[in-house]
Amino acid sequence: MKKVIYLSFVFFILLMSWDVSKQDMAVAVANRTEIIPDEAIRLRIIANSDSPEDQWIKRKVRDVVVENIDLWVESMGSIDEARLVINDHLPKLEQLVKETVKESGFRYSEGIKVELGKFPFPTKLYGQIVYPAGDYEALLITLGKGEGQNWWCVLFPPLCFVDMSTADAVEMGGNVDGKAISVDNVENVDDLSSEEVEVKFFIFELFMKLLEFLKSII
């Protein structure tokens, strides 16, 4: 009986946490006013696939990586310093990502890559500013096949406190800041399927947390 009460309480807390997280994300999206400078280094994490479990581990890796980066990001005063600092931390970051994936019970035969360089990005809409598709400097973390949805932010200057995973779309035939926007190869974040995927992510995360809780009381 006590376990049932505990589980009911945990379920309630998790539901409340999810609602708060949704509100926080809405505030973050509403307040997007930062402009990404020309000299910037992005952080991009690409999931193995779009399955709920692969997207879940991508988000867990994201949390661990951003938390770790936060410890040394303030020492980066210029983009040249940023490159040096990131390069110095690449081995540690790669080890951290691999440990996080392994401890969560995932195995990718294709391995895990952590690289700093220039990589292709699709067209991005950030606030009311469009960043055209092209090669941008980034710290790229690829999980397994790297065929799933990605999460990205700006590592330098540090804007990683803002979730840009939904900044991948331009309204069809839209015009931003007086510039005509090409809709070729632009990711459509307004697709209804994205809402369904988010629900699946939440259910999977809820299941994982309940499983961890059960292990702790048994």
Place of tokens 């930062």: 34
Q: Are residues 58 and 81 in the same domain?
A: yes
Question: For residue 130, what pLDDT is reported?
Answer: 78
Total domains present in the chain: 2
pLDDT of residue 152: 87
Instruction: Determine whether 37 is exposed, middle or buried from the number of CB atoms within 10 Å of its CB (0-12, 13-18, 19+).
Output: exposed
Question: What are 114's strand-pairing partners?
Answer: 141
- As a whole number of angstroms, the distance between CA 10 and CA 16 comes to 10
The pTM of the full predicted model, rounded to 2 decimals, is: 0.64
55 vs 200: CA distance, rounded Å: 10
Sort strands 134-143 and 175-176 into parallel, antiparallel or unpaired.
unpaired
Query: What is the residue range of 12's domain?
Result: 1-31+193-218
- Residues 144, 64 share a domain: yes
Instruction: Yes or no: say if 47 and 165 are a contact pair by the CB < 8 Å rule.
Output: no
Three-state helix/strand/coil letters over 13-42: HHHHHHHHHHHHHHHHHHCCCCCCCCCCEE
- 115 with 165, same domain: the answer is yes
Same-domain status, 38 and 52: yes
Same domain, 69 and 156: yes
Please check whether residues 23 and 44 belong to one and the same domain. Answer: no
Is residue 217 located within the same domain as residue 119? no
Cα–Cα distance measured from residue 48 to residue 45, given in angstroms and rounded to the nearest whole number: 10
Residuewise pLDDT in 10s, the chain (218 residues): 555 555 555 555 555 554 444 444 444 444 444 578 888 999 999 999 999 999 999 999 999 999 998 888 877 889 999 999 999 999 999 999 999 999 999 999 999 999 999 999 888 776 677 788 899 999 999 999 999 998 888 888 887 654 444 444 333 333 333 333 333 333 433 333 344 444 445 555 666 666 666 666 66
pLDDT tens-digit series, residues 171-192: 333 333 333 333 333 343 333 3
